Structure formats: C-alpha cells, structure tokens
C-alpha cells in the first residue's frame, strides 16, 4: 500500500485542535452566524462554510461599526448600507434590519467589551463551488466582534504620507456596493507599502482623486473650501458624510467658505491647504505628504483638528447617533 504523508484526522483529532489555546482570543471575542443561529466565543470555532460563495468567489458584502464606551456609533447607517449593498447585487438577505440590529447588540453584550468593533457580512450563501448565484437559495449573515482597530499615533499627530495608486479601484457595478472583492484595494496597500508610503489614493480615468483602499478623502483648499469627490464615484462613507455635516457647521461659524462636492484633479490636491482621510476604523487622519509633495505646511491643519474634536464629541456624547448595548 502507498505510504501516506498526510495525516487523516479523526473527529477527536479535530476537536482537540479546536480546543487548543489560541492567542486570537485576545482580539476576536465572539461570532454569530445564521448557519448556526448561535454565538460562539472560541476563535477556533469562528468559521464559515467553504461552499459559501463569499469564500470562493468573493460574492458577498460587508460593513463595520465601531463600539465606543458601550455604544455603537452610526449603527443605523451601517445597517442601511449593507442592506443597500446586498440588495444591489440581488443577494437574498436572510434577516431583516431589526433582527440584524438585535443580533449585533446581543453579540456585543456577550463579549462584555465596551470598546470594540462589530464587523458583519451578508454572503451569497452556501450551495456549491460554481460562480452561479442561483446555487445559493439564501444568503448568510456573519458577525464577528473584534478588538478596536488601532493605528500608529503618528498618523494623527504627524499625518500620513500617501501616494497615487497605479491600480484603478475597479468596482464591478457601482462603488456603492461594499463588496468583498477588495483585490484592487489590497494591491493599493501593497504598492504603497512597497514604496515606503503609509497608504495610497486611487484616481479616476481623468486623473481626479477618488478614495483610499478603505477610506474616503477630502481636501481643504487654500481659499477655505471643504471639497470632496462626487459621491457617485466613491463609496458613500459614513464618516465622510458625518464630516460633511461637521464641515457645514464650520461654514455656518464662518471658519470654512463652503462645502462642495467636485472633481479634485491631483494637481489641485497637491496645492491644497489640508487633505484628510475618513473611515470607520481611522475616523479622521491628516495627509501631510502626497506623491512627495508637502501638503499645506506639512503638519496636521486646523480644520482637521476641529473635525477630529467634533468626531470625538459625536462618538461619545451624541445619543442621536449612538445605540447603547444592554450588557446586563
């Protein structure tokens, strides 16, 4: 008989592996899946079926919400966006919005964590290994509660050094579908890190800046306009939208001249007074160098600092955008 080199595990072998200690429990706290309709807290059990089309074809959508001091920030916006994303590509969503909200709040409560991140997906569903969506009768909802994202303090205190990505952010249908197909986004980061930059910005075919791999971008012009790329070209970022709201307050206070959506050619970005990124994980961070060009005076600018303070207050004090978790 041929000598086999590979082990063939018994169920007991497998469950011994599942029961092993893992350092992942320091950062992955709980997972819910509609496959089980239950929550698990051992990271070794946090799995999804291989034949879910989200695994082998990237056929799924996702979103994330930040939990700050026991309250979920902008949960409604993130749920609305994942539903819009899934609906746009014809995924049969297995739960209604209210059920997803309750599952998210309950799973966070199980972890007992007051500062963490809820990351959730709606997949095409299980049913085979082909590309055909009709193999999957219904989608699945997966949720994992992880530690809060953390970036180096220098991002916020000194600012980021970014480059233009040579990879177009090709989205299959519309940039508004937050799909699991993030290969271009990953390649942007690969490129940026290879050239010694912190991250990259994509451009459209006319050379206007669009967005980062997982963040929106905006500029403040030298004559005091807060400018962001047209929203039909980029993901409708929850944090960018919130920043637009804050920028309008700064306009009312006479600190900004206006808040406008317009194409931003790279040359205009180079000449701006301030550039900044927005995302759920990063919140807001200043860009001080773009393609080797110093932005403004090369330091985090006054509008960034004001918007950062407005975010801090919003995320901790504004009950209109915070959903409390019931930990009892």
Q: Choose which of 107, 136, 214, 221 interacts with ligand PLP (CB under 6 A).
A: 214
Using CA atoms, how far apart are residues 252 and 139, in angstroms rounded to an integer?
45
d(CA 127, CA 136): 5
Residue 279 interacts with ligand PLP (CB under 6 A): yes or no: yes
User: Which tokens go with 303?
Assistant: 């509008």
Residues touching ligand PLP: how many (CB under 6 A)? Answer: 13
Evaluate whether 67 touches 325 at the Cβ level (below 8 Å): yes
Residue 70 is given by DSSP the state T
Type and span of the H or E element at 282: none
Listed residue (24, 67, 53, 51) closest to 180, CA to CA: 53
Please choose, out of 131-139, 209-217, 256-264, 318-326, the segment that lies near ligand PLP by the rule CB under 6 A.
209-217
Say if CB 97 and CB 83 are below 8 A apart. yes
**Which residue stretch of 51-59, 274-282, 287-295, 315-323 sits at the interface with ligand PLP (rule: CB under 6 A)?**
274-282
Considering the complex, state which of residue 121 and residue 126 has its C-beta at the smaller distance from ligand PLP: 121
Smallest distance from ligand PLP to CB 242, Å: 8
Among residues 180 and 303, whose Cβ is nearest to ligand PLP?
A: 180
DSSP string, 166-182: SS----SS-TTS-BS--
Smallest gap from residue 238 Cβ to ligand PLP (A) = 4
Residues in the chain, total:
328
Give the one residue of 79, 117, 209, 235 binding ligand PLP; rule: CB under 6 A: 235
Closer to ligand PLP by Cβ: residue 216 or 221? 216
Q: How far is the CB of 191 from ligand PLP (least distance, A)?
A: 15
What separation in angstroms does the CA of 116 have from each of 65, 152, 180, 324? 9, 17, 22, 13
**Out of 65, 146, 280, 323, the residue judged to bind ligand PLP by CB under 6 A:** 280
Q: Which is nearer to ligand PLP, 33 or 216 (CB)?
A: 216
Residue 72 interacts with ligand PLP (CB under 6 A): yes or no: no
Burial degree of 289 (CB within 10 A; 0-12, 13-18, 19+)? middle
Helices 75-88 + 97-111 axis angle, to 10: 130
| Separation CA 129–CA 109 (nearest Å) | 35
Cα gap 101→104, rounded to integer Å: 5
Closer by beta carbon to ligand PLP, 52 or else 211: 211
Q: Which of 52, 59, 211, 314 binds ligand PLP (CB under 6 A)?
A: 211
Nearest to 283 by CA among 248, 255, 307, 318: 307
> Going residue by residue from 237 to 266, which x/- string records binding to ligand PLP, judged by CB under 6 A?
xxxx--------------------------
Query: Taking CB under 6 A as the criterion, which residues in 170-199 touch ligand PLP?
Result: 185
Task: Candidates 85, 123, 146, 216: give the one binding ligand PLP (CB under 6 A).
Answer: 216
Query: What does the per-residue mask of binding to ligand PLP show for 45-64, with x meaning CB under 6 A?
Result: --------------------
The answer to whether residue 178 is catalytic is: yes
Of 5, 71, 97, 178, catalytic: 178
Residue appearing with tokens 């049913």:
127
Looking at residues 115 to 154 of the shown chain, list those that interact with ligand PLP (rule: CB under 6 A). Answer: none
CB 47 within 8 A of CB 61: no
278 binds ligand PLP (CB under 6 A): yes
Q: How far apart are CA 219 and CA 290, in angstroms?
A: 12
Query: Which residues have a catalytic role annotated?
Result: 178
| Residue ranges binding ligand PLP (CB under 6 A) | 185, 211, 214-216, 235, 237-240, 278-280
């Amino acid at each position: 008989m041929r000598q086999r080199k590979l082990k063939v595990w018994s169920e007991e072998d497998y469950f011994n592996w599942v029961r092993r200690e893992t350092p992942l429990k320091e950062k992955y706290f709980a997972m819910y899946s509609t496959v089980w309709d239950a929550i698990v807290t051992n990271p070794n059990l946090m799995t999804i079926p291989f034949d879910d089309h989200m695994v082998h074809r990237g056929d799924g959508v996702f979103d994330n919400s930040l939990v700050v001091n026991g309250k979920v920030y902008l949960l409604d916006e993130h749920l609305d966006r994942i539903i819009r994303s899934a609906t746009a590509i014809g995924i049969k969503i297995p739960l209604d919005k209210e059920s997803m909200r309750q599952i998210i709040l309950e799973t966070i409560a199980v972890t007992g964590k007051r500062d963490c991140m809820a990351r959730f997906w709606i997949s095409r569903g299980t049913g085979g290994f082909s590309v055909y969506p009709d193999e999957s009768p219904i989608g699945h909802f997966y949720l994992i509660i992880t530690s809060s994202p953390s970036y180096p303090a220098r991002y916020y205190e000194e600012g980021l050094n970014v480059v233009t990505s040579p990879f177009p952010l090709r989205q299959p249908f519309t940039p508004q579908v937050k799909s699991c197909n993030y290969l271009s986004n990953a390649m942007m980061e690969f490129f940026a890190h290879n050239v010694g930059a912190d991250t990259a910005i994509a451009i459209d075919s006319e050379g206007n800046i669009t967005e980062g791999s997982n963040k929106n971008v905006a500029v403040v012009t030298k004559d005091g306009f807060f400018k962001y790329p047209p929203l039909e070209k980029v993901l409708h970022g929850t944090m960018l939208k919130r920043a637009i709201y804050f920028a309008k307050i700064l306009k009312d206070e006479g600190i900004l001249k206006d808040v406008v959506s317009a194409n931003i050619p790279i040359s205009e970005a180079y000449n701006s007074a301030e550039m900044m990124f927005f995302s759920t994980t990063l919140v807001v961070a200043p860009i001080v160098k773009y393609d080797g060009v110093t932005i403004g005076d090369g330091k985090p600018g006054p509008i960034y600092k004001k918007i950062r303070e407005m975010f801090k207050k919003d995320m901790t004090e504004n009950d209109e955008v915070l959903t409390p978790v019931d930990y009892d």
